[in-house]
Structure 1
Amino acid sequence: MKIIYKEVAVENFTKVPAAVLKGANRIELNDNLNVGGTTPSFGVLQEATKYLQEKSVPVVEMIRPRGGDFVYNDLEIKMMEADLFQAQKLGIDGVAFGALTKDGDLDEDAMEQLIAASSGMQIVFHMAFDALAEDNKKDAIDWLVDHDVDRILTHGGPLSTPIDQTLDNIKKYIDYADGRITILPGGGINFENCDTIAKKLGVKELHGTKIIDGI
């Protein structure tokens, strides 16, 4: 059976030890998963990072000041920037963020600011990608590649649409990216369907809250 690299999205520290024990390859650390994840507190981040570093499991921190859309004002970008500098000090492996304009395009100015503050860490453009206007997605992939972003996390459509109905879209992004950037499928992927999805898409990495049995 093909071995899949499994990134488990968790809320705070509670499920981190169990996820590691059951084979999580990478942890995405969040608060408020019910709104799609927001930035965890400093205390949670500090203890979770220390634990995961001892276990040699990489950690990705969600950088998102609130739920809702991904259109941020200057003050919110400043908050995100401060969280990124803090992540650097803690030795976080990767950070996940995304900033859009009101008309459904990348907020390039905000993204450049956040990328600059992420020096030394892997960068993930999270599911804000799915809120981009469809016509803008190929240009967005090119821009993210040009700015050395490592991964794009995508469901391939609105989270309300089951993953088996969005696989064609994800495959389209994978084909267009053509190995220049990792397309990381997520949202609705669990321990029962992950092998099938990985095979259909030809991917080695998957993301989910329930991607490991018993977590």
Structure 2
Amino acid sequence: GGTTPSYGVIKEANQYLHEKGISVAVMIRPRGGNFVYNDLELRIMEEDILRAVELESDALVLGILTSNNHIDTEAIEQLLPATQGLPLVFHMAFDVIPKSDQKKAIDQLVALGFTRILLHGSSNGEPIIENIKHIKALVEYANNRIEIMVGGGVTAENYQYICQETGVRQAHGTRITQ
């Protein structure tokens, strides 16, 4: 997965895309690997959030889990003041949360003020088509309280089918355009 882009990349991307009327969501992730962060990494994330806000980003994308793969509400609450009210997207760290706990996680993210969840439906590398039933259940549970966006394996060929079968309205990916 991606990590936080540099100050220069954020600045230039925001300027270029905003001139074209396109919004920019900035990834806040200090390193690859798992989504469990220590105090130093959380301070780095806070500083990165402040810079992204300063550069007039439109949204922030992050995911923070506890060591047992649940939403780290304490760490997220620590970062919330830095976000200054920017829309928050919880990224594919969501897929690492045990499926039996994902509805509770949706409730937690809504309570924390997140506006969107980016997910694939599983963390084991299954094709996204295999996750349609689970994604649909999450969309129904979310009930428009938070947007569910799919990613990871969405293509120009399967995009319409995935949206139709799951009820999602947006997808993330590099293979969606033709």
Settle same-fold status: TM greater than 0.5. Answer: yes
Contact 2:139 2:148 in 1 (8 A): yes
Structure 2 alignment gaps of length 5 or more: none
Shift of 1:116: 2.5
Q: Distance in 2 between matches of 1:188 and 1:47?
A: 28
Q: Distance in 2 between matches of 1:114 and 1:52?
A: 26
* Alignment pair present for 1:139 and 2:104: yes
* Alignment pair present for 1:113 and 2:90: no
Hey, what does 1:187 align to over in structure 2? 152
Q: Distance in 1 between matches of 2:79 and 2:116?
A: 15
Equivalent in 115, 121, 124 of residue 156 of structure 1: 121
**How many residue pairs were aligned?**
178
Hey, what does 1:94 align to over in structure 2? 59
Contact 1:115 1:123 in 2 (8 A): no
Letter in 1 for 2:80: I
Secondary structure class of the residue paired with 2:171: strand
* Alignment pair present for 1:42 and 2:44: no
* Alignment pair present for 1:56 and 2:21: yes
Q: Distance in 2 between matches of 1:44 and 1:159?
A: 31
Hey, what does 1:103 align to over in structure 2? 68
Contact 1:190 1:211 in 2 (8 A): yes
| TM-score w.r.t. length of structure 2 | 0.96
Structure number with greater CO (CA < 8 Å, separation at least 6) is 1
> How do residues 54-93 of structure 1 correspond to structure 2 at under 5 angstroms?
54-93=19-58
Letter in 2 for 1:204: R
Residues 95-150 of structure 1 deviation map (CA, whole Å, 9 limit, x = unaligned):
10011111111111111122322123110000010011222211111011112110
Shift of 1:173: 0.7
Residues 25-45 of structure 1 deviation map (CA, whole Å, 9 limit, x = unaligned):
xxxxxxxxxxx1111111111
Residues 7-60 of structure 1 deviation map (CA, whole Å, 9 limit, x = unaligned):
xxxxxxxxxxxxxxxxxxxxxxxxxxxxx1111111111111100110010011
Shift of the 211–115 alpha-carbon distance from structure 1 to 2, 3 Å rule, reads farther
Contact 1:151 1:184 in 2 (8 A): yes
Q: Distance in 1 between matches of 2:80 and 2:121?
A: 24
| TM-score w.r.t. length of structure 1 | 0.80
RMSD, aligned α-carbons: 1.1
Q: Distance in 1 between matches of 2:80 and 2:8?
A: 24
Shift of 1:159: 5.6
Hey, what does 1:15 align to over in structure 2? none
Q: Distance in 1 between matches of 2:124 and 2:84?
A: 30
Shift of 1:200: 1.1
Contact 1:52 1:59 in 2 (8 A): yes
Contact 1:70 1:100 in 2 (8 A): yes
Hey, what does 2:91 align to over in structure 1? 126
Runs of at least 4 residues of structure 1 off by over 4 A? Answer: none
Q: Which moved more, 1:120-129 or 1:197-206?
A: 197-206
Secondary structure class of the residue paired with 1:153: strand
